[in-house]
Amino acid sequence: MALSYVEFTTTPTNLKADLKTHIDASTDWSNITGDIMKATTTRGAELVIDLGKSAATAVRLGYSCWRAHNA
């Protein structure tokens, strides 16, 4: 699983869409539904981030992260 670092300028209104675009640009990640992004590591662990927990503001973005293992 490759690491990626990107800096970009956005607004609170566009933050979720811009984050999803940049996360999805990685070959390891995919947008599985709505605001939920998922990746699977080389050892089979699933990494999931849900950006849909709350509306973004100028100082805050609500999200959830979790992991699971299929082995």
In a domain, 30, yes or no: yes
Q: Which residues contact 28 (CB under 8 A, 6 or more apart)?
A: 1, 2, 39, 40
Closest C-alpha to 69, from 50, 49, 43, 51: 43
63: left (phi over 0), alpha (psi -120 to 50) or beta: beta
In a domain, 4, yes or no: no
In a domain, 44, yes or no: yes
Q: Please state the pTM of the whole predicted model.
A: 0.76
Cα-based distances in Å from 8 to 42, 46, 66: 28, 26, 25
Over residues 47-60, the pLDDT tens digits come to 899 988 878 888 88
Over residues 8-63, the pLDDT tens digits come to 999 998 999 999 999 888 888 999 888 899 998 888 888 899 988 878 888 888 88
Task: Give me the number of domains the chain comprises.
Answer: 1
Residue 36 is part of which domain span? 15-69
